[in-house]
Amino acid sequence: MQPIKIAVVGVGKIARDQHLPSIAGNPGYALVAAASRHGSVEGIRNFTTIEDMLEAVPEIEAVSLCMPPRVRFEAAHAALSAGKHVFLEKPPGATLSEVAILEALAERKGVTLFTSWHSRFAPMVDRARAHLADKTIRRVEIFWHEDVRRWHPNQSWIWEAGGLGVFDPGINALSILTEIVPGHIMVEKSVLEFPENKKQPIAASIAMRTVEGAPISAEFDWRQEGPQTWDITVQTNAGALRLSKGGSELYIGGEEKASGPDREYAGIYERFAKLIRSRQSDTDYQPLRIVADSFLCGERKVVAHFED
């Protein structure tokens, strides 16, 4: 089978940390070009815009869009219009409308659109989903507390409108939640904390529920220094399940413990290749819907000035 000729757009932190190594490590892909205003990748053709790249390298079959969400729509639209398969980093858009428009365009063009959620590929998420599939969910608690200064240095876009603020990491928790808890989830209320000098929230407290009525709470906070917390605890009719460290450790009934090595992006690229080869799309954007609903229902609280 010929490798899929792929290009990367937006050569920044996540492209360098994860996308480029994962593509290089998967024989199902051949990286042929990159487009980035400042960044570049050695050994392939580089362009400053996606439009120039698509025109100059028609053999490109797929593109991975690794830039911040606010500027991803135009690039995705251009790539799908040119008949390319598209991998969207999370979150798949800055708005729900963008994603719906891209979904319809991909279908019209007969190409693959993949709204990726890397945290769903954390090593213990599949096992958690399988364990919960036949249980009755009684309650879910999520704590996603991290240090924005450590994980997002110099990323001013994250604090701008469309950057999502603390929901940029929080949506990872929501992507796991919607993967492991069967059925639909609704937002009931939320409190969003905005530093007086920022346009996006630094913390959020969300009350959700399953359609059956089991309460789900999520606490997202970007002010946690020291040890970081990425935990989801699910109480069921058969005891508790806890996913820790963003889905890399699993505890069932407080006893059984399993963990696995990190291969989130390797897993994502395997999935993207499978989707392309089977001519399917995966456009689940339920996590973004929960974020949008949290803003719609959100009570705004102004908190102390924050320098990042």
Annotated catalytic sites, by residue?
90
Q: Is 32 in contact with 59 (CB distance < 8 Å)?
A: yes
Of 122, 2, 12, the C-alpha closest to 62 is 2
Choice between 65 and 137, CB closer to ligand NAP: 65
DSSP state of 16: I
Class of residue 126 by CB neighbours under 10 A (exposed 0-12, middle 13-18, buried 19+): middle
Cα separations in angstroms, 86 against 89, 160, 191, 219:
10, 25, 34, 32
Choice between 44 and 240, CB closer to ligand NAP: 44
Choice between 39 and 298, CB closer to ligand NAP: 39
Least separation in angstroms between CB 12 and ligand NAP: 2
Least separation in angstroms between CB 115 and ligand NAP: 12
| Tokens at 133, concatenated | 């599939």
Choice between 38 and 305, CB closer to ligand NAP: 38
Encode 38-60: b = buried (16+ Cβ within 10 Å), e = exposed: ebebeeeeebeebeebbeebeeb
Choice between 115 and 235, CB closer to ligand NAP: 115
3-state secondary structure of 31: strand
Least separation in angstroms between CB 157 and ligand NAP: 5
* Interface with ligand NAP (CB under 6 A): 10-14, 36-39, 66-69, 71, 89-90, 118, 155, 157, 168
Q: Is 54 in contact with 34 (CB distance < 8 Å)?
A: no
**Which position has the token pair 């990042």?**
308
| Closest residue to ligand NAP in the complex (CB) | 12
Q: Is 187 in contact with 293 (CB distance < 8 Å)?
A: yes
**β pairing state of 203-210 and 215-221:** antiparallel
Least separation in angstroms between CB 91 and ligand NAP: 6
Least separation in angstroms between CB 163 and ligand NAP: 9
Choice between 132 and 247, CB closer to ligand NAP: 247
Least separation in angstroms between CB 9 and ligand NAP: 8
Which residues are CB-contacts of 115 (< 8 A; sequence separation ≥ 6)?
88, 90, 92, 99, 282, 283, 284, 285
